[in-house]
Amino acid sequence: MKRITLVGLCLALCALLTPALSHAEVSCTRGGLQQAVDLYLAAQTKGELSGLPLATGVGYWENAAPADIKTGFITKPLRIDHQRSLLDTTTCQSFTEVIVTDKAAPYVFGTRLRVNHDKIAEIEILWTTTGYWLFNADSYLKHSSEESWGPVPKDKRESRDTLVAAANAYLDAFLEKKLDRVPWGFPCERLEGGAYTGKGSPSDSCEVGVPAGVNIANRHYVVDETLGAVQVFCTFGAGGPGRPGGAPDSHLFRLQNGKLRYVHTLTHLLQSSFRGNRPPPRPGSQK
């Protein structure tokens, strides 16, 4: 009888400890970062923070500005249609691209997490929705879900420095339009808010439509050598009248054989606010 009682007590204690154990799995390993991402996605789906192992004093930002985590975007319940994540074990960060095609409230957004030991210490979200730069969630879902972002074979992986250098070369081109320094790949497709440059041709290029005179500033990186990918939170422009810090922006790159293969961009900028309400150029335009 005592033996049965002890077994029952053990099972009850194990059940009570299960949530704590799942939180303890959060760490700077790939598995630990993926666990943090999974917990975040579950929380975002419910709009409920209680399942997240948040650090005391957790930092929370939306669109490059501090925000209240208790009332922010993260508390909005969303039905997620597609997501992909980069896991950066060097800096203990992750980045997740998320697509929501709900007709009542569509979103495409990116979320960065930073893990400190077994807690989530930082959450940063950049979101876009109807009325923002080239936004089209249905198009974003179609093209993003068709792309190949699987692990790169170990003997073909690029170094962290190579991935960051490729991202910087692309972003640097916006200022003085020195396009010859960018490791362009062919084919290469750019997905910008929902607009897509690809036509299914071996000659598809991400070079078209890159403007000049824009300083891509305030860059922060999440790098995943296993996926051959790097994401950059930045600002489209270094600032100016009415926009002190530029427009919050995310650029996500996938490389193959050292060359750009995919480029995804999200910009938290109302379409009506661009260049004094002038229609913006579409990707593929030379203007």
Catalogue all structural domains in the chain, each as residue range(s) with its CATH number: 25-144 (3.10.450.50), 145-277 (3.10.450.50)
| Residue whose C-alpha is closest to residue 150's, from 211, 216, 228 | 228
pLDDT score for 114:
98
Q: Is residue 214's pLDDT more than 80?
A: yes
For 14-60, the pLDDT digits (tens) are 444 444 444 449 999 999 999 999 999 999 999 999 999 999 999 99
């002890």: which residue's tokens?
Answer: 6
In whole numbers, what is the pLDDT of the chain averaged over residues?
89
Percent of the chain with pLDDT over 90: 79
What is the pLDDT confidence band of residue 241, given thresholds at 50, 70 and 90?
A: low
pTM: 0.87
Q: Is residue 215's pLDDT more than 80?
A: yes
Who's near 63: CB < 8 A, 6+ residues apart? 125, 126, 127, 248, 268
pLDDT score for 169:
97
| Residue whose C-alpha is closest to residue 132's, from 236, 206, 242 | 236
Who's near 197: CB < 8 A, 6+ residues apart? 189, 190, 191, 204, 205, 206, 208, 209, 283, 284
Give the separation between CA 83 and CA 159, rounded to whole angstroms: 24
Give the separation between CA 119 and CA 130, rounded to whole angstroms: 33
Query: Which class for 146: exposed (0-12), middle (13-18), buried (19 or more C-beta within 10 A)?
Result: exposed
- Over its C-alpha atoms, the chain yields an Rg (Å, rounded) of 21
For 10-25, the pLDDT digits (tens) are 444 444 444 444 444 9
Q: Is residue 216's pLDDT more than 50?
A: yes
What is the pLDDT confidence band of residue 238, given thresholds at 50, 70 and 90?
A: confident
What is the pLDDT confidence band of residue 277, given thresholds at 50, 70 and 90?
A: very low
pLDDT score for 249:
97
pLDDT score for 244:
65
Residue 76: how many CA atoms within 13 Å on its side-chain side? Answer: 14
DSSP secondary structure code for residue 68 in this structure? -
pLDDT score for 209:
79
Q: Is residue 280's pLDDT more than 60?
A: no
